[in-house]
Amino acid sequence: MSHAHAVSIIRGLAMDAVQKAKSGHPGMPMGTADMAAVLWSSFLRFDPEAPTWPDRDRFVLSAGHGSMLLYSMLHLTGYDVSLDDLKAFRQWGSRTPGHPEYGHTVGVETTTGPLGQGFATGVGMALAEKLLRHRFGKDLVDHHTWGIVSDGDLMEGISAEAASLAGHLKLGRLIYMWDDNHISIEGDTELAFTEDVPARMRAYGWHVQKVDGHDPDAIARALEAARKVHDKPSLIACRTTIGKGSSIEGTAKTHGAPLGEEDIRGVKTRLGLDPDAHFVTTEAAYAHFHEARERGQAAHAAWNARMEAHPQAQELRQWLDRRPEEWLSALDWPEFEPGTSIATRKSSQAILEAMVARMPNLLGGSADLAGSNGTSLGLPSIGPDTMELPGTLHFGVREHAMAAISNGLSLHGGFLPYCATFLIFHDYMRPAVRLSALMKQPVQYIYTHDSIFLGEDGPTHQPIETLWALRSIPGLRVWRPADATESIAAWQGAVAWEQGPSAVVLTRQGLPVLTKQQTANAHRGAYILSEPDTAPEAVIIATGSEVSLALQAQELLAAASLPVRVVSAPCLEVFSEQPASWQDTVLPPSLPTISVEAGATQGWYRWIGRDGLAIGIDHFGASAPAEVLAEQFGFTPEAVADRIREHLSVRA
């Protein structure tokens, strides 16, 4: 009776909150209430008074549109989510937004909105647990990652990528319940989703069970069986009825709109609730989860005791702190010879090698491009039976999942994750990168082959528009260093910043190395790299490989008695955070400004003004050697100098 009553309360809260907000998704919480009640009462290990306890179980609601399920569970189990918070569902300033948001609502482990992201993020969490347990032992690291996923999650391609890698890595402590309700927004899933999901997941290496999603005993048996499988992730297909109990149960009509007062009254009557009462909770419902709460608190206390006596406890705390100052201060940054030529992807590799030698929790890899991305660091490969750290992750050709798994590694704690691919493939990763920024997770994204100058691979691989796509994401810092010394500044800035992700954008081709004195202010985002002998009449601002081009153009213009300043701008986001006095010193409002970047120009007008000149490429590239492309597209010193002279003569 206590389970049935708790489930009725969960369904009632979901209906009332959506009805009061006049928007939301009541069907999923009503259909999955049995699953959630069994999981939270008998399996999930948590401590509401210490919601970030490192050895807690993680719960991921990948089907984030059903957020009222999670908010109801958090409230009933004692987290700081009040009835007033539930009543403010989806309202301005509330702690119960339409989709769960990490850092906004206590107890929410990850932000889930785009379907499939939660599925893949949970894989990262489970991977972090397995790696840390191997490194520190089960006395300190011994927990599970649980989740509820939907038909929509399993349709998204990212879940296929993540499930494949999870099966390969034998993530046996990853257990997902599939809300198998056969309904999507447009109707029955027969419209577009008729594959044999259990067979697919078994082929990926998952342990799969099927149960009645409204039979609490069957759910509990399946969860217990999954918990005993140590070498495979688990999927439990829970056959459910969306909108369970309503007059339109089992239909798409219950998915994304309030049920209406009349229907809600009928459901409450059938559930044994007062049809005229709203947001009803009872002591019996709270009591149903009280034992689970006490179990979690006892487990937390026991873990604290083990930490007090464990010889590796201090080291684990350092890992969980993620950026111990002693590791960063002890780094031996590589030296690069001024005047020599080295691609920034190569200098970045040397920097990563120095970092991983001092930062054992720096963890990452590439989407099957390690040699090209500069992430072959000579470390052991991490695989299903080899979890040695430091090590290298092999994501395979799975850019979608790679970024979301990196989010999971970061959210779990203990790791500073990085992942790498060609810049052109950022678009495959964009939803997860956006969530990194939204959740303020310090994931490091390495993007190489950053412009048309990768050459012969042609326009399909030449990311002319991608830099500004990256820069348009709030909270993402985009570093595009001009040389090896700026690469050090870029990595120092990225690793030191804890409030969000960074993208380090690197060249395929060699670039001349500048001196430390020249680049001393690179950490400020943009700075004066080279002044003319006389007062400048204009400013060239450039990034990445185009900085050396700007310096060559400066020499040509000087020979023509036109003195110009060259500004290097490795990170416009950091520059925008500098005091106005610094910005005006670097880019005086009184001087005409010209930007030079081998990519789209639209974002430059913030910095150069309406009357400025943006030298870039606003069309797709071509397949040819890099030097030919430079000639054809106007990225030679002579072409840049000519355009600047022409622009200034017109202004005059």
What CATH number belongs to 325-512?
3.40.50.970
pLDDT per position as a tens digit, 553-600: 999 999 999 999 999 999 999 999 999 999 999 999 999 999 999 999
pLDDT per position as a tens digit, 178-221: 999 999 999 999 999 999 999 999 999 999 999 999 999 999 99
What backbone phi and psi angles, to 5 degrees, belong to 266?
-65, -45
SS3 of 603-617: the string is: HHHHHHCCCCEEECC
Task: Give me the amino acid identity at 575.
Answer: F
Q: What is the pLDDT of residue 388?
A: 92
Q: What is the pLDDT of residue 317?
A: 94
Query: Could you identify the residue written with the tokens 């039979």?
Result: 215
Domain with CATH 3.40.50.970 in the chain: 2-299, 325-512
Q: CA-to-CA distance for 583 and 603, rounded, in angstroms?
A: 17
Q: What is the pLDDT of residue 444?
A: 98
- Among candidate residues 251, 114, 257, the one with its CA nearest the CA of residue 183: 251
Q: Class of the 522-651 domain?
A: alpha beta
Task: Grade residue 118 by pLDDT with cuts at 50, 70 and 90.
Answer: very high
Task: Give me the amino acid identity at 287.
Answer: A
Residue 523: helix, strand or coil by DSSP? helix
Residue 1 has pLDDT above 60, yes or no: no
Q: Within its chain, how far is the Cα of 506 from the centroid?
A: 20
Sort strands 613-615 and 187-188 into parallel, antiparallel or unpaired. unpaired
Q: CA-to-CA distance for 151 and 50, rounded, in angstroms?
A: 33
Residue 188, beta-bridge partner list: 183
Edge-to-edge strands of the sheet including 527-530? Answer: 527-530, 564-568, 538-542, 593-596, 613-615
Task: Grade residue 322 by pLDDT with cuts at 50, 70 and 90.
Answer: confident
pLDDT per position as a tens digit, 126-170: 999 999 999 999 999 999 999 999 999 999 999 999 999 999 999
Task: Give me the amino acid identity at 134.
Answer: H
Q: What is the pLDDT of residue 531?
A: 98
| Average pLDDT value for the chain | 97
475-to-323, 410, 492, 572, 636 alpha-carbon distances in Å:
19, 16, 17, 12, 34
Task: Grade residue 324 by pLDDT with cuts at 50, 70 and 90.
Answer: low
Q: Going by C-beta distance under 8 Å and a sequence separation of 6 or more, which residues neighbour residue 176? A: 62, 119, 122, 146, 147, 148, 149, 233, 234, 235, 236
CA-based end-to-end distance of the chain: 86
Residue 504: helix, strand or coil by DSSP? strand
- Among candidate residues 572, 533, 530, 534, the one with its CA nearest the CA of residue 547: 530
Q: Does residue 390 have a cis peptide bond before it, meaning omega lies within 30 degrees of 0?
A: yes
Handedness of CA 546, 550, 551, 552 (dihedral sign): positive
Q: CA-to-CA distance for 177 and 212, rounded, in angstroms?
A: 11
pLDDT per position as a tens digit, 331-367: 899 999 999 999 999 999 999 999 999 998 999 999 9
Domain with CATH 3.40.50.920 in the chain: 522-651
HSE-up of residue 604 (Cα within 13 Å, Cβ side): 26
Contacts 24+ apart (CB under 8 A), 204-207: 204/163, 204/164, 204/166, 204/167, 205/166, 205/167, 205/168, 205/170, 205/232, 205/233, 206/163, 206/166, 206/167, 206/232, 206/233, 206/234, 206/235, 207/232, 207/233, 207/234, 207/235
Residue 299: helix, strand or coil by DSSP? helix
Alpha helix locations (H) across 169-239?
197-203, 216-227
Structure-block tokens of residue 191: 């419209």
CA angle, 468 then 474 then 480, to 5°: 45
Element (H, E) at 538: strand 538-542
Residue 326 has pLDDT above 80, yes or no: no
Q: Which residues are catalytic?
A: 399
Residue 375: helix, strand or coil by DSSP? coil
pLDDT per position as a tens digit, 457-512: 999 999 999 999 999 999 999 999 999 999 999 999 999 999 999 999 999 999 99
Q: CA-to-CA distance for 370 and 392, rounded, in angstroms?
A: 10
Is residue 42 within 8 Å of residue 100, measured between CB atoms?
no
Q: What is the pLDDT of residue 422?
A: 98
Task: Grade residue 652 by pLDDT with cuts at 50, 70 and 90.
Answer: low
Handedness of CA 402, 408, 411, 413 (dihedral sign): negative
Residue 651 has pLDDT above 90, yes or no: no
Q: CA-to-CA distance for 425 and 432, rounded, in angstroms?
A: 13
Task: Grade residue 550 by pLDDT with cuts at 50, 70 and 90.
Answer: very high
Contacts 24+ apart (CB under 8 A), 351-359: 351/487, 351/488, 351/491, 352/377, 352/418, 352/491, 353/377, 353/378, 355/331, 355/491, 355/495, 356/390, 357/332, 358/327, 358/328, 358/330, 358/331, 358/332, 359/327, 359/328, 359/331, 359/416
Mean pLDDT of 257-286: 96
Q: CA-to-CA distance for 479 and 310, rounded, in angstroms?
A: 40
Structure-block tokens of residue 69: 């399920």
What backbone phi and psi angles, to 5 degrees, belong to 512?
-65, 140
What CATH number belongs to 2-299?
3.40.50.970
Q: What is the pLDDT of residue 328?
A: 75
Mean pLDDT of 302-327: 90
What backbone phi and psi angles, to 5 degrees, belong to 293?
-65, -45
pLDDT per position as a tens digit, 394-409: 999 999 999 999 999 9
Residue 187, beta-bridge partner list: 184
Q: CA-to-CA distance for 626 and 296, rounded, in angstroms?
A: 60
